Amino acid sequence: MRKIFTDIPNEKWYDWKWQLANRIMDVESLNKHFPLSNEEKENITKVLTKFRMAITPYYLSIIEQNNINDPVRKQAIPSIYETIIDPTDMMDPLHEDVDSPVPGLTHRYPDRVLLLTTHICSMYCRHCTRRRKVGDNEDSHFPKEQLEKGLEYIKNTPEVRDVIVSGGDPLTMSDNQLDWLLGEIRKIDHVEIIRIGTRTPVVMPMRITENVCNILKKYNPVYVNTHFNHSNEITEDAKNACEMMADHGLVLGNQTVLLRGVNDNPAIMKKLMHDLLKIRVKPYYIYQCDLSEGISHFRTPISTGIQIVENLRGHTSGLAVPHFVVDTPGGGGKVPVMPNYIISQSPDRIILRNYEGRIVTYNQPSVQKVSPAKAPDDIKKYYSKDGVANLVNTGNETVDYKKLAKEGPKHSEKQ
Ligand SMILES: *Cc1c(COP(=O)(O)O)cnc(C)c1O
Ligand code: SF4
């Protein structure tokens, strides 16, 4: 039950356009629904000179008032720590703008691209990685001509088989805009799957209507990756939104950001993973917090993430164990990090330890130098041509060792 906005009738409350139009964006309106001390008001005002605030009435309503440690509050309400720029902070830590062949499109990995569609989110996360862009003052979706350039690039790049539509939050676009964009992507033969990255089910679940589900469904296989960080966000409304999408055949995943004071605890994370599975969302990634500006107070040591995985793997369903990844600064891409399970190895044996700490031995095949069977000609293209995979694959004949020795293995010189 709502404790604030009690005078708003349900037909307004459950209308996403009302939620969007009534976002809380300044200190005075925040104070009206959510009493703040003078010091808090001053601090928030300071932060707002640098970073925007916007909170949907719905998301504000799930914060426990008078609890400064509320995990939802920390994600939505600015903290004075955001004014601290740590020496390690960066504007564009992931080099999304550098690895961008056309504005708004990042092509980092060989076979998939990230297509940004809008600067708008219904709620601006305090820990946002893309805060250099998201919520800039324009409050705009990208112009159609820019999206068309992105589409043109995908059309002309046959190795792209996976398009990740993100932003901002693409589900802030109208049903018609989404229908158009996804339709254009689907027209491209070599695109096999479409992914949508959206926080809408978490911060404005009323956006998930039958109508938008039917639009997304037309372009299946569509994978929707959402962004729950704490079990408190899994409300009845969020549950309904996720279940409606799953009922329309959309496959749901979740990307959690590891945040100090929000979810940097193995018990909180295990509960979150279980609660996600109950609403048919498969935990996909836990991200190490990026080096974006003004979010150093959210960062944990990487070892916290390793400890969290240690508390999950083996102790609970494999389905509840996401990959913990560090999206490496400078555009190195995501690197999975996990506890060490290999204790030692020789050509004959590999010594592993399981989740209980029991040491187990696996005898390796006695005939050494067996290479993996060669793939039939018609599927040879599935051998990776890049990086370390290229070095170990036996199906490739094209390794230029001299060049590799000079440059080190790296991805995709496009041939
Ligand atoms: C995260 C990301 C992807 C997708 O990576 P997956 O590991 O396939 O989920 C693609 N492009 C960019 C630029 C990304 O940051
Ligand atoms: S939903 Fe994503 S893009 Fe939008 S503010 Fe949050 S983290 Fe940033």
- Residues 389 and 249 both lie in one domain: no
pLDDT for 412? 44
Residue 170 alpha carbon to ligand 1 centre in Å: 16
- Residues 223 and 331 both lie in one domain: yes
pLDDT for 388? 87
DSSP code of 346?
A: -
**Quick one: CA dihedral 298, 227, 108, 399, positive or negative?**
positive
- Residues 323 and 187 both lie in one domain: yes
Q: Does the residue 404 lie in any domain?
A: yes
Number of structural domains the chain divides into? 3
Enumerate residues lining ligand 1, CB below 6 A. 106, 108-109, 112, 114, 164, 334
> Could you identify the residue written with the tokens 């995501």?
334
**Quick one: CA dihedral 259, 139, 254, 354, positive or negative?**
negative
- Residues 129 and 110 both lie in one domain: yes
The answer to whether residues 45 and 78 touch, using CB atoms and an 8 Å cutoff, is no
Residue 20 alpha carbon to ligand 2 centre in Å: 15
Q: Does the residue 90 lie in any domain?
A: no
Q: Which of 305, 336, 367 is the endpoint of a domain?
A: 336
- Residues 63 and 134 both lie in one domain: no
Q: Does the residue 274 lie in any domain?
A: yes
pLDDT for 413? 41
pLDDT for 415? 35
Active site residue 59: no
Give me the tens of pLDDT residue by residue for the chain, a chain 415 residues long: 789 999 999 999 999 999 999 999 999 999 999 999 999 999 999 999 999 999 999 999 999 998 999 999 999 999 999 999 889 898 888 888 888 999 999 999 999 999 999 999 999 999 998 887 777 666 778 999 999 999 999 999 999 999 999 989 999 999 999 999 999 999 999 999 999 999 999 999 999 999 999 999 999 999 999 999 999 999 999 999 999 999 999 999 999 999 999 999 999 999 999 999 999 999 999 999 999 999 999 999 999 999 999 999 999 999 999 999 999 988 899 999 999 999 999 888 999 999 999 999 999 887 666 667 788 889 988 888 888 888 887 655 555 656 656 665 554 443 3
**Quick one: CA dihedral 282, 268, 203, 298, positive or negative?**
negative
Q: Does the residue 198 lie in any domain?
A: yes
What is the C-alpha end-to-end distance of the chain, expressed in Å? 58
- Residues 193 and 112 both lie in one domain: yes
Q: What CATH number should be reported for the domain holding residue 314? A: 3.20.20.70
Active site residue 128: yes
Choose the catalytic residue: 73, 125, 169, 289: 125
- Residues 16 and 159 both lie in one domain: no
Owning domain of residue 35: 10-81
Active site residue 81: no
Residue 213 alpha carbon to ligand 1 centre in Å: 24
Q: Does the residue 282 lie in any domain?
A: yes
Q: Does the residue 95 lie in any domain?
A: no
Active site residue 125: yes
d(CA 222, CA 404): 37
Enumerate residues lining ligand 2, CB below 6 A. 121, 124-125, 128, 130, 134, 167-169, 199
pLDDT for 309? 98
Q: Which candidate, 296, 386, 302, places its Cα nearest to that of 339?
A: 302
Q: Which of 321, 336, 351 is the endpoint of a domain?
A: 336
Q: Which residue's alpha carbon is nearest to atom 7 within ligand 1? A: 334
Ligand closest to 168 (CA) is 2
- Residues 66 and 109 both lie in one domain: no
The answer to whether residues 352 and 360 touch, using CB atoms and an 8 Å cutoff, is yes
pLDDT for 99? 82
Q: Does the residue 91 lie in any domain?
A: no
Query: How many DSSP H helices and E strands does the chain contain?
Result: 15, 12
